[in-house]
Chain A
Amino acid sequence: GQNIDQPTEMTATEGAIVQINCTYQTSGFNGLFWYQQHAGEAPTFLSYNVLDGLEEKGRFSSFLSRSKGYSYLLLKELQMKDSASYLCAPRGQGNLIFGKGTKLSVKP
């Protein structure tokens, strides 16, 4: 079957670092995406991993371990505007599968 597991909510302090974990099971694997979604808005693309390892992109980094079915999104130097839902979306043999997302609240 296909399944995605992420924490429902997380809270962190402005300026801190937070790691959002995602475990997944898919039929086949063709990469994993992370999206950011602010309340009431559509998702925006953050990162894409297809090989094992860490992809760094400014304040955001994403890690993938295909053998473990595991990924994480690392957010550094948190800002208030980073308060949003973060969606882990692996792509199996078909299309993207979205988890319910992790709602991150950044506090001053």
Chain B
Amino acid sequence: GAVVSQHPSWVICKSGTSVKIECRSLDFQATTMFWYRQFPKQSLMLMATSNEGSKATYEQGVEKDKFLINHASLTLSTLTVTSAHPEDSSFYICSARPWETGGYEQYFGPGTRLTVT
């Protein structure tokens, strides 16, 4: 149980275009989903926390108009990187906190590798 999927696994896009990444909890409902970014050999950096039906909470330094997060249901959150630039190339990972367990554990998706050319 507690499987989180992400789509796509990897994506290459041109500078200036937008990319949408989906995060789904497959066998549980997630009140809260998290979006992380990880650059090579760096730690996971939390970008934002999204709660179903409400606006996402962004970490300091993360542009909310550039990284649009939508958490429309208890099993789906999306991250849209708008007007992507080469410096946005990174490994984007989502995680979900199960509603049923009271929310201590987080389960990670497999990640999406974004390359902006």
- Count, A-B residue pairs, CB within 8 A: 42
- Whether A43 contacts B108 in the complex (CB less than 8 A), given A95-B49, A100-B43, comes out as yes
Kindly identify which residue among B91, B106, B109 contacts A96, using a CB–CB cutoff of 8 Å: B106
Contact bitstring A66-78, B, C-beta under 8 A = 1, else 0: 0000000000000
> Considering the chains assembled together, what is the distance between the CA atoms of A30 and B105 in angstroms?
11
Contact bitstring B81-112, A, C-beta under 8 A = 1, else 0: 00000000001010000000000111111110
Whether the Cβ atoms of A87 and B44 lie closer than 8 Å is yes
Question: Interface size of A by Cβ–Cβ distance < 8 Å?
Answer: 20
Q: B residues within 8 A CB of A45? A: 105-108
Name the residue on A nearest B94 (C-beta).
A42
> Considering the chains assembled together, what is the distance between the CA atoms of A41 and B42 in angstroms?
13
> Considering the chains assembled together, what is the distance between the CA atoms of A50 and B101 in angstroms?
15
Whether the Cβ atoms of A98 and B110 lie closer than 8 Å is no
Q: A residues within 8 A CB of B107? A: 45
> Considering the chains assembled together, what is the distance between the CA atoms of A43 and B107 in angstroms?
8
Binding site for A on B (CB under 8 A): 34, 42-46, 49, 91, 93, 104-111, 113
